[in-house]
Chains A and B, each alone.
Chain A
Amino acid sequence: MNTSTIESPPHSKNAPLASALSLVVPGAGQLYLARRNRGLAILATTPFLIYLINWALTNFRMESIAVWLWLGLALFWAWNVFDAYRLARGQTTVDWLGLILPLIVIYLISWQVTDINLDRLVKRFSDVQVVFKALMYPDLFTQVDGSWQPSENFGDIIGKIVDKPAPGWLVQLGLAQKDAKVPTPVLGKMAETIAIGLMATLLAILLAVPLSFFAAHNIMSRVPGGTVIYYAMRAFLNVVRSIDTMIWGIIIVVWIGLGSFAGTMALTIHSIAALGKLYSEEVEHIDAGPIEAITATGANLFQVIRYAVIPQIIPPFLAYTLLRWDINMRMATVVGFVSGGGIGYFVVETIYKGAFEQYAAAFWAVVIIIILVDYVSAKWRERILAGEVKVTAAAPKPFYTSLRALTWLVIGLAVFVLCWQLSEIDPRKLFEPAPTFVKNIRDFVTIDLSPDVFDTVLKQTLITIFQALLATTIGGLLAVPFSFLAARNLMGANPLAQVIYYFVRGALSVLRSIEVLLYVLIFVIWVGIGPFAGMLALAITSFALIGKLFSEAIENIDPGPSEAIAATGATGLQVIMYAILPQIIPPFVSYLIYQWDINIRMATIVGLAGGGGVGFLLKTYFDLLQYHKAGTVVAMIVVVVTVMDFASAKIRERMV
C-alpha cells in the first residue's frame, strides 16, 4: 500500500482511466500505472477486508458497528480511486490513509471479537481484589504457640521434614533400627518444577545435538541424498516447534498419563525442536578454515571433528542451551496445568479451591526462582560468549586434578540423580501406553475436515490471531513510556530518576518472570472466562518483555548523531526528531513484530486456562476424547504459527 515511493514516469494523460479501473477493481489502476507492489497490496486487501467483515457480522453480534465497518471499507475503496488518480497525474498521495483505514477496520473487529468490556475491569475489580490482597499475605508461616513456623503450605511448595521408615542403607550402616522412623527431607513442588526444567533441558541436548547435524545444510550437502534429509529434518523441527509445549503436554498425557514425567517429556520434545534448529544454524556457521588446516596436518576424521569442529560449536551450543534452560524453567512452572506435576498443578488446584494465600506463596516462589534462573543463565551466557582470555605462563592443570572441579562433579551427579527421581522419569512408560493409544493416535492424525468442524476451528483461530494483535498493540503502547523510564542512560541524572529506574526495571522483571497462563488465571477471576481474559494476560506479558527490549534499544542509542545534529544549531526537539527517533524506531518496530510472533504462539494456549481462543477448543476436544477434531486444531495451529513465523522473519529481515 505504501511500500513503493519511487517515482514512476508520469502517466498524466490516463488519470481518468486509472481511477475508473481502481473504482471497478481496487488496485487495478495502480497496476495499470506499473506500481506493482502497491496495486497487488490493494488488490489483496480489499477482498480480505470484505471477507473479514462478513465473517465477523455472521459469527458475532456486532450489528451496532456494522455501519462503521462497511464505512471503513468504502473509505478505503474511495482512497484507492483517489490514489490512482493522483498517481496518474504524478502528484503525491496520502500513503498512510491506505494503511490506517484497513487497520481501523481490523482493530474494530478485534475489539468486538475478543469480547473486550473495559467496564468489567472496573465493575468486577472487587472479585479480584481478594487475589491481590492475598499476594500481599502469602501463606508461608503460621503462628504455633506464639512462635512462627513454616506453614503446611510452605512445606508443600518448598519442602519439609517428615518422619519416614528408615531406608535400607541407613539400617545397613547401623545408623538406624529396622522399621524405625527417621526424619527425612521431602522436597516440595518447587523442587519438582526445577527438576522438570533441568531434566528436560538435559534430555533435549542429547537428542538435539545429533539431529542438528542432519539439519545443517553445509554438512548434508556433502552426503549423497543429504539435501532431502536436510529439508525433511528442517520441516520436522519446524512443525514440532510450532506446537507449544503446553499442547505437547496435552498430547503426551494421552500417551503416558498425568504426572511429572509427562511434563518433562512435553518440555523435552519442544526443546529438542527449538534447540535442534538453533544448533543447526550454528553448525552452518562453522568456519571451514580450521577444518582444512587440521586435515592438512594428516589428522583423521575423528581428530578433525575433535580439534576443528567441536571447539567452534561448544560455546554457542552452551549459550543456546542456557537460554533454553531459562525458557524451560518458565514452562515447567505451568506445564502442570495440563500434564500434572510441578508447581503448575498446585497453582491450578489452589485457584479452583479459592485458596488465594496458598496461591500467592506459590506465585512468589515462582517469581524468585525464575528471576534467579534468568540472572544466572544470562551471566553464564555472557561469560561463555565473551570467553575470558587468561594470560598465564604455565599450562593450566587438567580439570580432574583440581579439587574444586571434582567437588562440582560430585554435586552435579547428586543433583542429576535427585532430579531424575523428582521428575519421575520412567522410560518404560513410553512403551506401555494405554490400550486405546494406537486408536487415539490414528484418530488424531486423520484430521476432521468436515465444514462444521473446520468453521468452528477457523473461527477460534481468527479470535486467537486477533487476541495476539490487540495484546501486542496494547502491550507495545504501554511499553513506550515505561521503556524511557527504564533506560539507564536517561535515568542516571539524579537520585530520584535512579530510584524510578530501578523500580520500573524491577517491576518489569517481576512481571516478566510470570508465565502468561498464571496471568490468565487471575484475569479469569477478574473479567470472566473468555478471550478478553486471555488478551489481557498476553498484553501484560507483552508489556513486560517489550518494555525491557525497548529500554535496551534506548540504552544502545549512539550519542554521536545527537552531538552532530546539536552542533548544527538544532533545537532539542529537532535533535530528537533527527538523531534519536531514527535510531530507535527500527528496533522498536522489529521488537513489536517479534512480540507479535511470540503472542501468536502464546495465544494458542491461553485457552487452556480459560483465556478463550483455539486453546480452549483444543482442551475441550481432548476432554471429550474427540481426537479427530483435536487433530484439526493442532494442524491449524501448525499452519498459522508457521506462516506467521515465516512472515515475521521476512519482515524483520527486510527492516534490518
Chain B
Amino acid sequence: MLKVENLNKVYPNGTVALKDVSFEVADGEFLAVIGLSGSGKSTLMRCINRLIEPTSGRIFWDGTELTALSADEMRKVRRQIGMVFQQFNLVKRSSVMINVLSGRLGYVSPYQSLFNYFSSADHARALKNLERLGLREKAYVRADSLSGGQQQRVGIARALMQEPKLILADEPVASLDPVLSHSILKYLEQMNKEDGITVLCSLHFLDLVHRYSTRAIGLKEGKLVFQGLPQEIDDAQFKTIFGQEAERVTIL
C-alpha cells in the first residue's frame, strides 16, 4: 500500500508545486492522476520515488517510510518501483536490449554491469518481456530507430525488468496518437490485472481515465481537489479540476 501524507514541494526558485497533498493507494489499484499542465503531476510522481526530494510530508510504501530512508536504502526500494516517462527516456544510441537490461541495474553486481555483463537469466528475462510487448524482433536495433509507440513499449519493458510492485507512469501517452495511446494503456492495464502491479498513471484525457483507471485523484495548482471513482467526475467536478473555461473533448 502507498500512503502519501501532507506532501509539500517548493522548488528552489520558489515555485510551490505541491501543497499538502495526502492520499492512499491500495495494492492492485490503477490510479489515474489528472490535472492541467503545471498542476504538479510530474512532481508528485518524482517525489514518490524521490527523484525529487519533497520539501515536507511523509510517504509510506509497504509500511516503510520512504521519506526517512538514506540515499542507499532508497536506491534499493526504487528497484520495486518502475517508472515510465512521457518522453520515453531511452538511451537513444544504445540497442533496445541494453535499454531493457538496464532495468536490472539495481539487482546486478555494479562491477559486472560496468562491462555490460548481464547474466543469461537476465537476457532471457529481457527477451521474454520484449516478447510480451510484441518487440522480440527489435531487440538488437538501436533504440532511436523505433517509432514513438514502440519506444514507449521498450520503456515499459525496462520497468518490467525491475519486477516492480508499483509502476509510476508519468503521462505515458501524452506524446502518442490516440490509437497508440490505447495500445500502451492496454499493456499497463494488463500488467495491473495479470501481475497485480499497482499503477499510478497521469493522464490528460478523461475518456482514458474512465476506460482504464479504478480510481482517480485530481490536482490543481499543487492541491488535491478530487479523490474518487472515475465515474464520479461529473461536469462540476471537471470544472473544479480543469477550470471554468475547459471543454470536455473526446478521443476515439
Contact = CB atoms under 8 A, between A and B. Distances in A.
A146 interface: no
Interface in A83-130: none
Contact of B114 (A294, A303, A390, A396): A303
Interface stretch (A71-79, A306-314, A526-534): A306-314
Contacts of B78: 295-298
A301 to B, nearest CB: 9
A307 B102 contact: yes
Contacts of A390: 140-141
A308 B93 contact: no
A560 B123 CA distance: 50
A311 B93 contact: yes
A292 interface: yes
Nearest to A288: B89
Contact of B141 (A294, A311, A389): A389
B162 A303 contact: no
Interface residues on B, range: 35 or more
Contact of A292 (B85, B114, B159): B85
Interface residues on A, range: 20 to 34
A355 B119 CA distance: 66
Select the residue from A311, A315, A390 with max chain B CB neighbours within 10 A.
A311
Interface in A369-401: 387, 389-396, 398
Interface in B7-21: none
A289 B106 contact: no
A54 interface: no
B91 A298 contact: no
A65 interface: no
Contact of A294 (B81, B92, B102): B102
A298 B83 contact: no
A298 B110 contact: no
B102 A302 contact: no
A171 interface: no
A293 B83 CA distance: 7
A185 interface: no
Given A296-B49, A306-B114, A395 B123 contact: yes
Contacts of B162: 297-298
Nearest to A296: B83
A300 B142 contact: no
Contacts of B87: 289
Given A298-B76, A298-B105, A293 B113 contact: no
B141 A293 contact: no
Interface string A53-79: 000000000000000000000000000
Contacts of B102: 294, 297, 299, 307
Interface string B133-149: 00001011110010000
A303 B110 contact: yes
B158 A297 contact: yes
A295 B51 contact: yes
B105 A394 contact: no
Given A391-B141, A396-B140, A306 B103 contact: no
Nearest to B52: A292
Contacts of B105: 294, 297-300, 303, 307
Contacts of B141: 389-392
Contacts of A287: 89, 92
B79 A387 contact: no
Contacts of B116: 398
B155 interface: yes
A290 interface: yes
B136 to A, nearest CB: 9
B90 A290 contact: yes
A395 B140 contact: yes
B97 A395 contact: yes
Select the residue from A289, A297, A302, A308 with max chain B CB neighbours within 10 A.
A297
Contacts of A294: 91, 102, 105
B94 interface: yes
Given A290-B91, A297-B158, A392 B140 contact: yes
B103 A393 contact: no
B212 to A, nearest CB: 22
A479 B92 CA distance: 40
Nearest to B104: A297
Interface in A396-416: 396, 398
Nearest to A391: B141
B116 to A, nearest CB: 8
A160 to B, nearest CB: 45
A394 B106 contact: no
A289 B89 contact: yes
Contacts of B107: 298
A389 B90 contact: no
Contacts of A389: 141-142, 145
Contacts of A296: 49, 51, 78, 81-83, 168
14 contacts: A293-B158, A294-B102, A295-B51, A296-B83, A297-B102, A297-B106, A297-B159, A303-B105, A389-B142, A389-B145, A390-B140, A391-B140, A395-B97, A395-B140
Interface of B: 49, 51, 75-79, 81-83, 85, 87-94, 97-98, 102-107, 110, 113-114, 116, 123, 137, 139-142, 145, 155, 158-159, 161-162, 168
Interface of A: 287, 289-290, 292-300, 302-303, 306-308, 311-312, 314-315, 387, 389-396, 398
Q: Which 10 residue pairs of A and B lie closest in terms of their CB atoms, listed nearest first?
A: A298-B106, A289-B89, A298-B78, A299-B105, A293-B89, A298-B79, A296-B83, A389-B145, A290-B91, A303-B105
